Structure 1
Amino acid sequence: MVLAAKIVLVVLCALLVLVILLQSGRSAGLSGVIAGGSNQISNRRSKGMDSFLGKVTVVIAILFFLISMAIAVLYHYHKM
């Protein structure tokens, strides 16, 4: 059971990294401050895709946390 949870945790970890890397940045950094954000108008990504990736990130992060806690509980009861 612990092995299956560990495998699921590794898959969730890889998916979380992938989904985070697919998201567009929230700010343009120092160049956005200097230019006043004028390049954001012409360089927009689809709002629907960013919204979807944000929701998927939250779901995967919650699953990652829950599986991590389950593994910790399983180890705690296994040692007793």
Structure 2
Amino acid sequence: MTTAQIALSIVMIIASLFLIVVVLLQSGAQQGLGAISGGAETFFGAGKASAADKVLARLTSVVGVIFVIAAIVLNVVH
């Protein structure tokens, strides 16, 4: 293995672990659960949650693209 292949392999491992963590941190689709909890989320609490979800969604996209690009480059180099 060349140095480039080792570096790309390390990038792939880090990106895959980070991608797993970011996906697991995202909240699931909670449709209809507001009635069960009695509408406990306030307007400000819901806004903060959606802002965090937007950041996590963007991180997921960025890390996913990095992962795919590293996989393609590693496949071409190999």
Q: Between 1-10 and 38-47, report the one with greater CA deviation.
A: 38-47
Give the letter for the 1:51 counterpart: K
* Structure with a larger share of its residues in helix: 1
Structure 1 stretches lacking a partner, 5+ long: 76-80
Q: Is 1:14 aligned with 2:17?
A: yes
Matched, 1:65 2:68: yes
Alignment of 1:26 with 2:29, yes or no, is yes
Q: Which amino acid aligns with 2:35?
A: S
1:37: how far off? Answer: 5.0
TM superposition score normalised by structure 2 = 0.77
- Normalising by structure 1, we get a TM-score of 0.75
Distance 1:70 1:39 in 2: 48
Count of residue pairs the alignment pairs up: 69
| Higher RCO structure (Cα 8 Å, ≥6 apart) | 2
1:36-51 superposed matches below 5 A: 38-39=35-36, 41-42=39-40, 44=46, 46-51=49-54
Find the counterpart in structure 1 of residue 5 from structure 2.
2
Partner of 1:78: none
Task: Note the alpha carbon deviations across 1:22-77, whole angstroms, 9 max, x for none.
Answer: 0000135xxx4xxx7513743556110001000000000011000000000001xx
Question: What's the Cα RMSD here?
Answer: 2.0
Partner Cα separation in structure 1 for residue 18 and residue 40 of structure 2: 30
